Amino acid sequence: MNIFENKENANNGPRSITILGSTGSIGCSTLDLIKFAPKRFEVVALTGNENVNLLIKQAIAFKPKLAVIGNEKLFNELKEGLSGTKIMVAAGKAALVEAAEMGSEIVVAGIVGIAGLLPTVAAVKRGAIIALANKECLVCSGTLFLNEVSRSGATLLPIDSEHNAIFQVFDFNNSSCVDRLTLTASGGPFIRSSREELLKVTPSQAVKHPNWDMGAKISVDSATMMNKGLELIEAYYLFPVEENQIDILIHPQSVIHSMVSYNDGSVLAQMGTPDMRIPISYALAWPNRLRTPAERLDLSEIGELNFQKPNPKRFPALALARDALKMGGAMPTVLNAANEVAVDCFLNEKIGFLDIMRVIEEVLDETSNSTLHQLSEISSCDYTIRKRAQEIAFELT
Ligand code: NAD
Ligand code: MG
């Protein structure tokens, strides 16, 4: 028994589903799959934060019991937009948690950043199937999060394409035969840019990923490769391997989504076109599969697949994340908080692209490690580090 297999899906009728962050890239891809297989799902709750018009549109189309907007100032707009329907409406952080607590079989954790932690944990606590996209929440609270999963009997299924790939080819009955995990990385849009070019990178250039269409924060994380750093930590928590068994490999075509190497020399990989609807569908239908409208992989058209080791000087985020994981304790929480603030400052044109790493390095250097015993300590560590990261970013402006 492992965290992925606490529950059998014996339910043959429509599966009830809540989408936390339905207005985002993961949320929209999830709804796209539901539109494609409407008889297989029943939407219970949808949540957004700023894009109230899209949330209203989604609620009218998918008829959930509840629609929640994180930003309380938008409550009246949501209420008006859904007046005359039977859909309940609510706003604010506590309402996001209530949406997660509402009875549904599956909860898609698609909020970006630590803002998704408390709603996701609320879904874990009631033993739901968690289709986890929100890697930051696992990075921040690793062992505490997994303890809650074990306590409640929740099922944790990774949506992140690399972890979903590993999940599909990992032999959980013979985990001692696993030698290594290889997380593939596209290398992002600036894989060939010079340092001079990186100094001038603008937010609109950074959010343009060559292969994937994603939200702004994860797109910047992909450009700095902090996304792969966070994914290293995510993989450590999700799979029974040690930190030094997890490798990162640049693979610009994003066809092989990750690999597992076994002690007999076999390497199992999962492949597909870069379309998040594939890993999302796997989590939504698990342990079965769902037909998706995703484009099919044609290797003869792609012709060749390339691989290279990441250059540690060019992508310092990888070493920062690995060190934070090795140090353990509060360090992954600190890394994540500093990164969230630095990326936000970059997106708001307060600091340059290369300053993102400067802020994170400075925060990590000056923070002494501690042990975080409960979720409230994670939230307060996050709060303190955010304030400090903002000060450091401000000094750079
Ligand atoms: P996005 O920016 O497109 O969407 C984020 C969602 O979170 C939106 O619905 C937004 O309303 C909501 N949100 C943002 N701040 C919030 C707050 N303070 N309170 C409540 N809700 C809030 O991001 P995304 O690309 O969909 O990514 C979502 C998560 O999935 C991230 O953790 C990301 O790392 C992960 N992920 C995304 C992809 C992808 O292809 N997009 C792939 C793998 C993993
Ligand atoms: Mg990923």
Q: Say yes or no to pLDDT of 116 above 60.
A: yes
Pocket test for ligand 1, best of 18, 19, 22, 25 (most atoms within 8 A of CB): 25
Residue 143 vs residues 92, 239, 325, 354, 383: alpha-carbon distances, Å: 27, 12, 12, 31, 20
The C-alpha atoms of residue 150 and residue 144 are separated, in whole angstroms, by: 10
pLDDT at residue 12, as a whole number = 65
Q: pLDDT digit string (tens) for 47-61?
A: 999 999 999 999 999
CA dihedral 319, 322, 325, 326 (to 10 degrees): -90
Q: Say yes or no to pLDDT of 337 above 70.
A: yes
The C-alpha atoms of residue 87 and residue 81 are separated, in whole angstroms, by: 10
Pocket test for ligand 1, best of 29, 112, 139, 164 (most atoms within 8 A of CB): 112
The residue-averaged pLDDT of 142-171 equals 98
Pocket test for ligand 1, best of 23, 53, 214, 276 (most atoms within 8 A of CB): 214
Give the pLDDT band (50/70/90) at residue 238.
Answer: very high
Cα angle, residue 20 at apex, residues 3 and 11 outer, rounded to 5°? 55
Among protein residues, the one with the nearest Cα to ligand 1's atom 43 is: 160
Q: pLDDT digit string (tens) for 262-277?
A: 999 999 999 999 999 9
Exposure string over 343-353, b if 16+ CB within 10 A, otherwise e? bbbbbeeebbb
CA 75 to ligand 1 center in whole angstroms = 20
Nearest ligand, CA of residue 136?
A: 1
pLDDT at residue 5, as a whole number = 53
Computed over every residue of the chain, the mean pLDDT equals 95
The C-alpha atoms of residue 112 and residue 123 are separated, in whole angstroms, by: 16
Q: pLDDT digit string (tens) for 23-47?
A: 999 999 999 999 999 999 999 999 9
User: What ligand 1 atom has the least distance to the C-alpha of 216?
Assistant: 2
Ion ligand 2 residues within 5 Å by Cβ: 160-162
Q: pLDDT digit string (tens) for 118-151?
A: 999 999 999 999 999 999 999 999 999 999 999 9
CA 23 to ligand 1 center in whole angstroms = 8
pLDDT at residue 11, as a whole number = 52
- How large a percentage of the chain has pLDDT more than 70? 97
Q: pLDDT digit string (tens) for 368-391?
A: 999 999 999 999 999 999 999 999
CA 357 to ligand 2 center in whole angstroms = 20
Q: pLDDT digit string (tens) for 278-316?
A: 999 999 999 999 999 999 999 999 999 999 999 998 899
3-state class (DSSP) for residue 248: strand
pLDDT at residue 210, as a whole number = 80
pLDDT at residue 1, as a whole number = 36
CA 155 to ligand 1 center in whole angstroms = 21
pLDDT at residue 59, as a whole number = 98
If you search the block for the tokens 């934060």, which residue do you land on?
49
pTM, 2 dp: 0.96
Identify the CA nearest to 217 among candidates 136, 138, 331.
136
CA 287 to ligand 2 center in whole angstroms = 21
The residue-averaged pLDDT of 165-190 equals 96
Among protein residues, the one with the nearest Cα to ligand 1's atom 17 is: 115
Nearest ligand, CA of residue 274?
A: 1
Give the pLDDT band (50/70/90) at residue 10.
Answer: very low
DSSP alpha helix (H) spans, the chain = 25-36, 52-62, 75-81, 93-101, 117-125, 135-152, 161-169, 195-199, 203-206, 216-224, 226-238, 277-285, 299-302, 316-327, 331-347, 355-366, 375-396
CA 113 to ligand 1 center in whole angstroms = 7
- How large a percentage of the chain has pLDDT more than 90? 92
The ligand 1 site (C-beta within 6 Å) comprises: 21-27, 48-49, 70, 96, 110-112, 115, 133-136, 160, 212, 214-218, 276
User: What ligand 1 atom has the least distance to the C-alpha of 217?
Assistant: 2
Q: Which residues contact 97 (CB under 8 A, 6 or more apart)?
A: 118, 119, 122
pLDDT at residue 7, as a whole number = 53
Nearest ligand, CA of residue 218?
A: 1
pLDDT at residue 3, as a whole number = 60
Pocket test for ligand 1, best of 218, 230, 234, 340 (most atoms within 8 A of CB): 218
Q: Are 230 and 340 in contact (CB under 8 A)?
A: no
